[in-house]
């Protein structure tokens, strides 16, 4: 018995469309048209996969909000929420990474802020400032942090499943970005980072930093 669908619901219309077209052309014995849609269906299933994740049981830990590679770890001045210097961790999600975003730790959503913008390649540094993005301010027992979903050149659809007032458990799914993207995590400088540039991280599992008591 299947307890849960291992595919994000937002991906089902695309998967069913490609699968239906593949079946249609297969029945017509039009192999040159069947094969492209068959492989597109497989690629889409892989992209929208939804694996189980188990987060570390460490209350003061800040867990990665996304799968991918760390491309930035620096102190920046945040003008939107903190109004002071904070750590900023940038994670690049390739087409082959799981694209579901998860809550870095337990807390309540204080605010969300969507900002339209460009669709520059997510690896570019200026994409963090200019691209379409959605920010989520989360407040927990140890302090606030911000998760920023940033669209990329291919990713042109940010999905956010949470709203102000929602309580999120650590590792809980909060949204996704379709087809390649960037996620930034902002947290107080009193925290101790546990990762470095170049590290591969997994949403809901990898410890990014810890609040220092």
Give catalytic residue positions: 181
Cα distances (angstroms) measured from residue 192 to each of 10, 59, 82, 180: 36, 14, 18, 28
- Provide the H-helix boundaries in 57-200: 127-130
N- to C-terminal Cα distance for the chain?
Answer: 44
d(CA 22, CA 7): 19
Q: Quick check: helix, strand or coil at residue 119?
A: coil
């Amino acid at each position: 018995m299947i307890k849960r669908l291992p595919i994000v619901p937002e991906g089902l219309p695309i998967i069913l469309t490609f699968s239906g077209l593949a079946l249609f052309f297969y029945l017509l014995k039009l192999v040159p048209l069947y094969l492209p849609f068959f492989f597109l269906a497989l690629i889409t299933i892989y992209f929208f996969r939804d694996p189980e994740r188990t987060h570390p049981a460490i209350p003061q830990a800040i867990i990665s909000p996304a799968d991918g590679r760390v491309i930035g770890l620096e102190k920046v001045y945040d003008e939107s929420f903190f109004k002071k210097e904070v750590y900023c961790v940038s994670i690049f999600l390739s087409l082959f990474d799981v694209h579901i975003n998860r809550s870095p730790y337990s807390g309540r959503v204080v605010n969300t802020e969507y900002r339209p913008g460009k669709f520059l390649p997510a690896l570019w540094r200026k994409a963090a400032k200019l691209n379409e993005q959605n920010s989520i301010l989360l407040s927990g027992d140890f302090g606030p942090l911000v998760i920023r979903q940033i669209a990329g050149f291919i990713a042109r659809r940010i999905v956010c499943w949470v709203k102000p007032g929602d309580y999120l458990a650590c590792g809980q799914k909060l949204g996704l970005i379709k087809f390649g993207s960037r996620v930034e995590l902002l947290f107080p400088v009193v925290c101790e980072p546990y990762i470095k540039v170049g590290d591969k991280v997994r949403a809901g599992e990898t410890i990014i930093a810890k609040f220092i008591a």
